Chain A
Amino acid sequence: MPAVSIDTFFACSLMVMLVLSAMAVTTTFLRPHMNTTDGDSSQRLYRELSKYLLLSEGMPSNWGQNGQTIPETFGLARSNAECPYELDGDKVSRLNDENFYAISYAEAFTSLEAPDTFFKIEIKPLFDVKIRLDTTFDSNNDTIYQFEISTERNGVPISTQMRIFTIAEAYLKATSASATNGETMQNVTIPDTVDGPALLAVIARSAYNDRIMSFNACAFAHSSAEPNLKGTFLKLSPLNHSLTASFSTSGIDLTNAYALTLNHEFQLEQMSNTSESTTYEIPKILDSGPTILVLTGTNSTRSFIEWTAYPQIPVEMGADFVDSHALSDVFSFTYLITIDSIIYDCTVWLGGPA
């Protein structure tokens, strides 16, 4: 075969490959930017799917209450909800990876039964409570801690009424305060005879709407070393009005357990105790709102204080869309949802492969 024929053959093949590849690459790059009915329909599809997540109960409908149950179909709505977007506190708690009985994203993805659809759910209070330890004073037999507590939404101060709890071992003191301009300074006095560490817990309610609430807590050293990070000693899992405290290290001895709400504070009653965990009963109260659960104890070397909220909010669960390069379109949908009559902010992100 003459060299010219081989030359021509190669040149033609090259041109054909070049044209086909150029078409393929152009289509791949332009597709996400094309404003076609495809994009509109996928947005509509994802919107309906986000509503389905929040309006359906899932199967079984009480999958949130039993920590061993993996839902066959995914849905967060409360059974027999009185109004739309009313979620089940236990189902939401099981999305939180701090909970021992949390379902994994893989399990949620499978039970959603929507292949090629990745999702993320975030549920948080409508405003933030920020606590900052300002200064510490020594008194005769006490130590006074001055805290700056602020309530804000996206940097805008929120006027609130709040209940402030100081807890250290068997010491529990509750006071009321208001932050009319979204900020208050609070002095907390703890006797030196009380062993630490201590915790300052705040439950705040909007001055304008009883159903908009938020909370936070801050552990601090009092006659003790600096407190460890949350979850170092215990994994707290509140579900179905019982709190399971799973021991993260050996030699744990729990001393006190409290439930704190806006209007009440209780000492929790122990239901069962094993070498790996202890279970407490969370009292059912008529007042709606989040409950802060606090446990104090010691391990072989030091004292500790751990806390969580019931329902276990804020929670963020699902796919990491920020680092995902394989997705072309991600849609976010914001909803106001209620859990136990309290209004929270819920954002659902949904996306699919390019």
Chain B
Amino acid sequence: MRNENAGQIRIIEAVFAVFVIFSAFAVTANLPAAQNTSRSDNLSSVGLQVLMKLDSDGSLGRNLDQGHWTVLRECLTLAIPAGISFNMTVYDEQMHEVNTAVISNGGFGSQEVSFTEYVCASRDLTLNCYAIHLYLAVTQ
């Protein structure tokens, strides 16, 4: 009699355990899956796109010809997405540094730094070619 009762109790235990475990799974299954929103801007492609946009109407070459470094810095500040630092250096055909002022919006505190090289030709009667080195970094 006592053994028979023990068997019944174990069955009840097992059923109860199954109920508890499945309840736990039912609850966890309805929890939101971890959502991973990542900013996937490829810094190099951002830099290239910004330079191409500024060059599309010839204003980039014009500013380089006239040495408007402040204008270039302000244009980059507007065009580059928030949270990205930049540092631009301009070279002539002989790879001599042309810019006489720093074209940058701050220090680089990030390990993720990208480099974009862009060749720009001015649209004046005298053809000037420039090599632009643009470094971008995610601001920390």
Chain A interface (Cβ < 8 Å from any Cβ of B): 2-4, 6-7, 10-11, 14, 17-18, 21, 25, 28-29, 32-33, 43, 46-47, 83-85, 126-127, 153-154, 156, 158-159, 206-212, 321, 324-336, 338, 341, 343, 345, 354
Contact = CB atoms under 8 A, between A and B. Distances in A.
A33 B17 CA distance: 31
Nearest to B42: A47
Interface residues of B, number: 44
Interface of B: 3-4, 6-8, 10-11, 14-15, 17-18, 21, 25, 28-29, 32-42, 46, 49-50, 52-54, 56-57, 59, 70-71, 74-75, 77-79, 81-82
9 contacts: A3-B4, A32-B33, A33-B36, A43-B38, A153-B78, A159-B74, A212-B79, A332-B38, A343-B53
A321 B38 CA distance: 12
Given A21-B25, A212-B78, A14 B53 contact: no
Interface of A is mostly: mixed
Contact of A206 (B32, B41, B57, B78): B78
A330 B38 contact: yes
A3 B6 CA distance: 8
Given A14-B18, A83-B56, A336-B79, A325 B32 contact: yes
A14 B10 CA distance: 13
A332 B53 contact: no
B6 A47 contact: no
Contacts of B25: 21, 25
Given A210-B59, A341-B57, 13 more contacts: A10-B11, A10-B18, A33-B34, A47-B42, A83-B52, A208-B71, A212-B78, A212-B79, A330-B35, A334-B41, A336-B49, A343-B53, A343-B79
Given A10-B14, A126-B78, A32 B40 contact: no
Contacts of A329: 35-38
